[in-house]
A and B are shown apart, each in its own frame.
Chain A
């Protein structure tokens, strides 16, 4: 922004500052994994129940090809479901917030559906549509769709009274008002929905795969657990976590690019 780039601390200083602020967290994190590593020995936990982190890394590395391929499979399901949920949810939320008919029909219907755990539909979709990509995409879509729509409705309905009056006092048309005021003002609340959906997207994909699939990280975790290989299960969980973080990271990045002015973004900057 107004800050000149030369005032900005370098990468080295910033990393230093981060360590200084977060050393307690880092110490706790490292300590947790060390405790895990040693407690398996110390309490004599059988390897088929729990494996130390070092072994997870070693065994996971040995199976890396399969893990990467399955990450791709699950990632594809997640991303397609998520993107479709955004592409459908955002315009629909917009339409509902501007149409009193839709607000009295579809909106209450959505609020009811929101109460239903969407994951409960997973077995049905698998039985209707088989083991392929489509049923997983649909389940991811269902999990992501509602937070996106409901937050979009909230977003487009909560323009402050003062700004509404300002718009009217200028005599601006509906389009001008929408693009210059309503849309940017709604973005922060929309992103609340996008982020919530991003967190849940991989959960939906994994559970759908548990229920019926022949590839993907959820499938992998289930099979290796059945084979008494918790080491590989943890490796699968690790990649599933990476996938979730990557998606969430992309959304956060988009948020920073699109609404750098918003308080939630400004606060999180160092």
Chain B
């Protein structure tokens, strides 16, 4: 059986001639259906670039990306994508912003009322449904953006640092919810982060990306039981995964 997402010799160069920036690759990677894979790497290594290429929003310079058996040759609408900067529009409320995703797709808003409520509830934003984004903190905006990205119930999710602006406590609680959601419904999740601990906690596999030009140094299967609650996080196996990955980045002089 072929993998859900297959990258073959993918690389990305921005610009051309003397100004060309070789941002990423070449990279080979296969992502299986239903797995939770993290792209872990330092700032500027090309995580967002890679995610956008998988979504078909950025062209590959070389190589080939296949999603569900088809070569990605344009924007893919059969996935859910949460961008690094949130895509909430200031003229709509939180609820309206979530509905925007449905309206843009021509999906009936009225049929999704319950799902929107459920999503808002899961990120603890129910009381803020009628607020505008500028009335929310950065972390609350990010949680609203998560609902916006997921409301159409995609089976493949690309999340670009979705927990980046959250405080440590909220982050922990959202990780837990995200993990529960993943265990329950088994979507394929591509998760961009630069937190080693977060990657190890959430992922079935971690793709460790080197500094620019980004390459996948190693894909590490995380063989720990789910759910990865505090007990698992405090275990010595967990600490060993974190330490191994730290060693890789130390080798590159990143930390």
A176's partner among B81, B86, B104 (CB-CB below 8 A) is: B104
A78 to chain B, nearest CB (A): 30
With A165-B83, A171-B75, A263-B134 given, is the CB distance from A177 to B104 under 8 Å? Answer: yes
- Distance of A152 Cα from B131 Cα, bound (Å): 29
Q: Is B101 an interface residue (CB 8 A)?
A: yes
Q: Is B57 an interface residue (CB 8 A)?
A: yes
With A169-B55, A169-B75 given, is the CB distance from A163 to B134 under 8 Å? Answer: no
For A188, the closest partner residue in chain B by CB is B90
Q: Chain A residues near B101: list those with CB within 8 A.
A: 170
Q: Is B85 an interface residue (CB 8 A)?
A: yes
- A-side interface size class: 20 to 34
Q: Chain A residues near B77: list those with CB within 8 A.
A: 169-171
- Distance of A263 Cα from B132 Cα, bound (Å): 12
Q: Chain B residues near A59: list those with CB within 8 A.
A: none
Contact B90 A261 (CB under 8 A): yes
B192 to chain A, nearest CB (A): 14
A262's partner among B81, B83, B90, B105 (CB-CB below 8 A) is: B90
Q: Chain B residues near A162: list those with CB within 8 A.
A: 83-87
CB under 8 Å from chain B, chain A span 39-53 = none
Q: Which of A162, A261, A266 has the most CB of B within 10 A?
A: A261
A183 to chain B, nearest CB (A): 10
CB under 8 Å from chain A, chain B span 61-102 = 75-77, 79, 81, 83-87, 89-91, 100-101
CB under 8 Å from chain B, chain A span 128-162 = 160, 162
Q: Is B222 an interface residue (CB 8 A)?
A: no
Q: Is B177 an interface residue (CB 8 A)?
A: no
B191 to chain A, nearest CB (A): 17
B75's partner among A163, A168, A180, A266 (CB-CB below 8 A) is: A168
Contact B87 A163 (CB under 8 A): yes
A170's partner among B91, B105, B132 (CB-CB below 8 A) is: B105
A166's partner among B87, B91, B131 (CB-CB below 8 A) is: B87
Contact B57 A167 (CB under 8 A): no
- Distance of A259 Cα from B106 Cα, bound (Å): 25
Contact A180 B132 (CB under 8 A): no
Q: Is A242 an interface residue (CB 8 A)?
A: no
Q: Is B130 an interface residue (CB 8 A)?
A: yes
Contact A180 B103 (CB under 8 A): yes
Contact A184 B91 (CB under 8 A): yes
CB under 8 Å from chain B, chain A span 215-270 = 259, 261-263, 266
Q: Chain A residues near B242: list those with CB within 8 A.
A: none
Q: Is B52 an interface residue (CB 8 A)?
A: yes
For B80, the closest partner residue in chain A by CB is A169
Q: Chain A residues near B55: list those with CB within 8 A.
A: 169
Contact B89 A165 (CB under 8 A): no
B118 to chain A, nearest CB (A): 21
- Distance of A162 Cα from B89 Cα, bound (Å): 11
- Distance of A171 Cα from B75 Cα, bound (Å): 7
Q: Chain B residues near A166: list those with CB within 8 A.
A: 83, 87
For B101, the closest partner residue in chain A by CB is A170
Contact B57 A180 (CB under 8 A): no
Q: Is A115 an interface residue (CB 8 A)?
A: no
Contact B87 A180 (CB under 8 A): no
Contact A169 B134 (CB under 8 A): no
A208 to chain B, nearest CB (A): 38
Q: Is A181 an interface residue (CB 8 A)?
A: yes
Contact A2 B130 (CB under 8 A): yes
Q: Which of A168, A170, A181 has the most CB of B within 10 A?
A: A170
Q: Chain A residues near B79: list those with CB within 8 A.
A: 169
- Distance of A29 Cα from B90 Cα, bound (Å): 38
Question: What are 24 inter-chain pairs, A to B, with CB distance below 8 A?
Answer: A2-B135, A162-B85, A162-B86, A163-B89, A165-B52, A165-B57, A166-B83, A166-B87, A167-B104, A168-B57, A168-B75, A169-B55, A169-B76, A169-B79, A169-B81, A171-B75, A172-B105, A176-B103, A176-B106, A180-B104, A259-B91, A261-B132, A261-B134, A266-B134
Q: Nearest 10 pairs between A and B by C-beta?
A: A171-B77, A170-B104, A172-B104, A166-B87, A168-B75, A261-B91, A162-B85, A261-B90, A165-B57, A184-B91
